[in-house]
Structure 1
Amino acid sequence: TPRSSSVPRSWRPDDASTTAGDDTPAISSHLSTCSQSDCDSNSALDAFLRRAFVPETLVQDTQDHPVYTFMCPTAICEAAPRFVPRTLPCEVLAGSAWTQVRGIVVAVQQALETEYEAEVSVSWGPMGGATGIVAVIKGGPEQAHDAKEVAKATLLEAAALSESVYVMGYLAQPFRDFGETGFKCWVGNLHHAKSDCVCWDTFQKGFCPRRATCRWYHLDTPDLMRVIVQIHRVP
Structure 2
Amino acid sequence: MSYTGAVKPGGPAEARELAELRITKVAVDPTMSNNCYLLRCQQTGEQLLIDAADEPRVLLDLVGADGLATVVTTHRHWDHHRALAEVVAATGAVTIAGERDAAAIEDATGVGIDRAVGQGDTVTVGECTLQVIALRGHTPGSIALLYSDPAGTPHLFTGDSLFPGGVGNTQNNAGRFEQLINDVDERVFQRLGDDTWFYPGHGDDSTLGAERPHLAEWRERGW
Q: TM-score, normalised by structure 1?
A: 0.28
Structure number with greater CO (CA < 8 Å, separation at least 6) is 1
Q: Which has the higher Rg, Structure 1 or Structure 2?
A: 1
**Which structure features the higher share of helix residues?**
1
Q: TM-score, normalised by structure 2?
A: 0.29
**Which structure features the higher share of strand residues?**
2
